[in-house]
Amino acid sequence: MSLRLGDTAPDFKAKTSIGELSFHDYLGDSWGVLFSHPADYTPVCTTELGRTAQLKDEFARRNVKVLALSVDPLDKHHGWINDINETQHTTVDFPIIADEDRNVATLYDMIHPNASATATVRSLFIIGPDKKLKLSFTYPASTGRNFTEVLRVIDSLQLTAEHSVATPADWQHGEDVIVVPSVSTDDAKAKYGDDLKIVKPYLRYVPQPKKK
């Protein structure tokens, strides 16, 4: 069965491009992004892993550790990392899991047999410091993911974990946010005063709270 939001992200031990690791221990108190790609030495995947490496400081600023995965072996990962670094003008130093026995792919339901019997699809999981699944999505092999969007949703997840707010469509860091329905308008007025903008009784905006 596939993982659902709020489930504990399954722990595993795996061989990776930076050595063997235990997933939960590796994450420690950080947030995690675990994402699969169909295969090494493929063009879209090369751009995806390159983009992820380019965004290293952005992930670090948000206390996020990133791990990639395919079912290719370690020697292939190492050779391909050189190509990614060369062609994407970056340095891949996050771990790439060599999931040859499909242990992780099975735990996270990353192989969708009607898409490919053997290759992992483009699954992505965001895991909180409590090891619970906060968000997941799946793209087909033909469509590269938007890693700026991954950072945007991490901003939303981290903000909404700390404050009783939600983020509207297309929200970007720094823009107004929505007071969640479980907070009464009286309580919202008491908390936010003149900053509260009531558009409808159920649609109430406040400036983005500061991160704690």
Concatenating the DSSP letter of every residue in 38-55 gives: S-SS-HHHHHHHHHHHHT
Q: Work out the widest C-alpha separation in the chain, in whole angstroms.
A: 61
Cα separation, 124 vs 108, whole angstroms: 10
Among 45, 81, 104, 179, the active-site one is 45
45 carries an active-site annotation: yes
Using CB under 6 A as the binding rule, whether residue 39 contacts ligand BEZ is answered as yes
Closer residue to ligand BEZ in complex, CB, 114/182:
114
Stretch that binds ligand BEZ, among 10-18, 40-48, 62-70, 185-193 (CB under 6 A): 40-48
What are the E-state strand segments in the chain? 13-14, 21-22, 31-36, 64-70, 96-98, 122-127, 133-139, 165-166, 177-179, 197-200, 203-206
Using CB under 6 A as the binding rule, whether residue 3 contacts ligand BEZ is answered as no
Q: Which residue of 1, 4, 19, 142 would you call a contact of ligand BEZ, by CB under 6 A?
A: 142
Closer residue to ligand BEZ in complex, CB, 43/174:
43
Closer residue to ligand BEZ in complex, CB, 141/153:
141
Beta carbons of 74 and 101 less than 8 angstroms apart: no
Using CB under 6 A as the binding rule, whether residue 143 contacts ligand BEZ is answered as no
Applying CB under 6 A, the residues found at the interface with ligand BEZ are 38-39, 42-45, 141-142
**Residues with catalytic roles:** 45
